[in-house]
């Protein structure tokens, strides 16, 4: 695979950018939260999940894998609203 094709594949692939310990999101209980970021090119998805860094990293990797699978199948999470 050429370097250019490989760079394009990386830019269009969702991947876990970071996972770090965090304060609980406002209004939610607990003190064992992590913040994760999944990225694709310049796009970022930020999420919060309770658990250890290891467990939240596994969750974020599964989400990224699912997003990549949906993208290769041409499926979208977007659903148009029904017109009345």
Contact present, 51 and 84 (Cβ < 8 Å): no
60 neighbors 36 (Cβ within 8 angstroms): yes
pLDDT at 70: 87
* pLDDT tops 60 at residue 46: yes
Tens-digit pLDDT profile for residues 1-23: 556 545 555 557 999 999 999 99
User: In this structure, how many other beta carbons lie within 10 angstroms of the beta carbon of residue 56?
Assistant: 24
Domains defined along the chain, listed by start: 3-73 (3.30.720)
Using CB atoms within 10 Å of the CB of residue 28, give its burial: 0 to 12 exposed, 13 to 18 middle, 19+ buried.
exposed
Q: What is the mean pLDDT of residues 62-83?
A: 78
Pairwise CA distance, residues 15 & 25, whole Å:
23
Task: Indicate if the pLDDT at residue 77 is higher than 70.
Answer: no
Instruction: Report the predicted TM-score, pTM, of the whole model to 2 decimal places.
Output: 0.73
**CA angle, residues 15, 18, 36, in degrees to nearest 5:** 90
């Amino acid at each position: 695979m050429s370097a250019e094709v490989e760079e394009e594949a990386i830019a269009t692939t969702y991947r876990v950018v970071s996972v770090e310990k965090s304060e609980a999101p406002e209004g939610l209980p607990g003190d064992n939260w992590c913040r994760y970021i999944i990225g694709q090119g310049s796009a970022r998805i930020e999420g919060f999940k309770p658990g250890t860094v290891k467990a939240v990293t596994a969750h974020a990797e599964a989400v990224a894998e699912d997003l990549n699978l949906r993208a290769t199948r041409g499926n979208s999470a977007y659903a148009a609203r029904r017109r009345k």
